[in-house]
Amino acid sequence: MVPVMDISDQDAARAVLRWYADMGVDEATATSPADYYAWSAPKAPPPAAPARPRAEPAPKLFRPDPDAGAMSADEAIGAAEKAASACDSYEALEAAVASFEGCPLKAGATKTVFADGVPGADLLVIGEAPGRDEDRIGKPFVGRAGQLLDRMLAAIGRSREENVLISNVIYWRPPGNRTPTPMETATCRPFVDRLIELTGPKAIALAGGAPLQAMLGVTGIMRARGRWREIETASGARFAALPMFHPAFLLRQPANKRLAWADLQALAARLREG
């Protein structure tokens, strides 16, 4: 049986809160992804919600306003395609992403996290989604995993100040850092494609299983890492892409850094090629 905490004991309450925060539990959310699109019923009022078990309350904090006429999934993807294809510069794309209202994750995020680094660099790193630190600061990969990514890139002579661009397949932090759903990645994909087309990298590093799935439709980073593939963007252009381990995974399983080092070498060799 779970012991009941005496909430009049403020030190104990603070200690529990601190422990939650350290464990990454810093959002009031449900344990499974919510289909926000299913809530967007612009015309007919939604049917009465079935009673939910107490253990898994609806994630009200992130529910878009049902009266605001939110878009269906198809409408959201269509709007993203239209907005992305109208952009003819990196700056225009950044502004288009910032003003895009079709991804429900935006409602629960503090900041839009677009990209960081040098637009037009020959190396583009694509990660999963902003976490807590990225959401606070508004730049991708600035937390512990980001610091490891910076060290990995430095090992092959790369930095976001000089010669790499870093972005994600999702521009808003998913609640509780959960993995983005296929619908969320599909909604953001037109912007990711346009970023690739506008910046024209020679090589793209896909950091982790989520970008592997979102950009190539492939599952299983353990088998896919280290093997070159091609990403085809919306306009039909093709770009070389190397799936790699996500730095957060390497923080948890440092023994895999050996394989990550081999992948970094392959990336560097490709970039050295004429």
**Residues near ligand URA (CB under 6 A):** 127-131, 134, 140-141, 145-146, 168, 248
Closer CB to ligand URA, 71 or 113, in the complex: 113
CB of 208 to ligand URA, least distance (A): 6
Q: Which two tokens stand for residue 31?
A: 């344990």
How many C-beta neighbours within 10 Å does residue 60 have? 9
Closer CB to ligand URA, 134 or 150, in the complex: 134
CB of 49 to ligand URA, least distance (A): 33
Closer CB to ligand URA, 83 or 129, in the complex: 129
Residue 230 burial (10 A CB sphere; 0-12, 13-18, 19+)? exposed
Strands 229-232 and 165-168: unpaired
Closer CB to ligand URA, 6 or 22, in the complex: 22
CB of 257 to ligand URA, least distance (A): 17
CB of 80 to ligand URA, least distance (A): 19
- Tell me the angle at which helices 90-99 and 182-199 cross, rounded to the nearest 10 degrees: 160
- Dihedral of the CA atoms 20, 24, 28, 30 (nearest 10)? -110
CB of 61 to ligand URA, least distance (A): 21
Closer CB to ligand URA, 145 or 165, in the complex: 145
Closer CB to ligand URA, 129 or 260, in the complex: 129
Closer CB to ligand URA, 69 or 220, in the complex: 220
List the beta bridge partners of residue 238.
232
CB of 54 to ligand URA, least distance (A): 32
- CB-nearest residue to ligand URA: 127
Distance CA 264, CA 173 (A): 27
CB of 128 to ligand URA, least distance (A): 3
